[in-house]
Amino acid sequence: MGELSSIPVVLNRLGVEAAHERIKLHIHHTPVLTSRTLSDLASTPQPVEALVGTPYDGKRPAQPRIRLFFKCENYQKIGAFKSRGAFHALSRLAPEQLAKGVITHSSGNHAQALALAAHTHGIKAYIVMPTISTPSKIAATKGYGAEVIFSGSTSQEREAVVEDVIKRTGATLVPPYDHPNIILGQGTMAVELEQQVQELVKDDISLSVHGESDGHLNSHAPTNGSMLLGEASAGHLDAVIAPLGGGGMLSGIATAFYGTGTRVYGAEPSFEGADDGRRGLEAQERITTVKTLTIADGLRTPVGKINWTVISDKCRVQGVFAVSEEQILSAMKLVIERMKVFVEPSAVVGLAVCLYDEGFRTIVEEEGGKEGWDVGIIFSGGNTTLEAISKMFATGDKRAERAEAKVGKDEERVAENVGG
């Protein structure tokens, strides 16, 4: 198969910064928003009844103090963060590789991101998509000029088609998440987030939990890699929570923030075993298969091999938390109604952790003390529709099934893996 890179790539902060220089002209510098309402909700103890049946049943609810900063990748090109990795991957290809085009297998945002990046570079893109892919995703991918080639829905079927196309065309495979150049590209959002939070707090120090005690903006370097984990100062994020699917984004963010003093956490849905990252960390072994119909359809994929080496490093990712479908919907409703921001379910798992995961909230209370934490939340994308949202919020036992699941032969429900 055509390889994305034969040159060893080191995953470090300098690599992320170099990636940002390469792609910044091709991507949107997405905004960072704040919400006093959601920060206040995150700082309010959960009702006692919400903890019934959990490990915290009978205990006093945590009383964390949290200020939230939202990195809005739903405003990124193609409506999701995936453009960053795709543009960086193509920027690293040799001219002879670009001349033969690129290929991937994806029915998700990576398909559109690679199609856009290829179109921008004036090269051919071959996208292998399962026949069960939604018509809107097929149309969007074709709209960027890609040649869509259909396959079966299993990974083996898709990979077989990819191999055939590579043999025929010599195209280079650009994977959705499991490659260092993808990881470094996705990590560029962390560089922006860090700088944007500093600028916001410089203009309004009350946005930070540390503003009242500091009275000044931290002029030391959260960007110089010298701060210790847990050092707190206005303008410096105490933690960042990112959605975890294949792990390209989380491992990229963890790479960017390593050594800055900012803790990094992952967030997953728990429905039907979608929390493979959390379970893998508990078992100290990567889980290789995921079959789930979680409404967070962008996270229906196992963590990649390379990404696992980052995510399983406790020094880089401090933990992974999982939230229920109901908690995801609740967080999504708050974002749409209170912030007036249009997001997909996968985008709000980090906020759901802040609001509803008592384990995380206890950590903030214990480690943040009376001051609390400034927390960055990644809104990973906004690629959903009003029709899909209405189905998600419909009542009934089969609500989760109606959200982005497909009907296969014999009327069985088929989980469409759109994590790429």
Using alpha carbons, list the distances in angstroms from residue 24 to 37, 83, 129, 386.
Answer: 32, 11, 28, 31
Helix axis angle, 358-368 to 349-356, nearest 10°: 70
CA distance 117 to 119: 5
Are 379 and 70 in contact by the 8 Å Cβ rule? The answer is: yes
| Residue burial 78-113, b: 16+ Cβ < 10 Å; e: rest | bbbbbbbbbbbbbbbbeeebbebbbbbbbbbbbbbb
- Structure token digits, residue 254: 């963890």
| AA letter at 362 | T
**Contact status, residue 178 vs residue 89, Cβ threshold 8 Å:** no
Tell me which residues are annotated as active site.
82, 107
Provide CB contacts within 8 A for 197, sequence distance 6+: 32, 69, 235, 236, 237, 374, 376
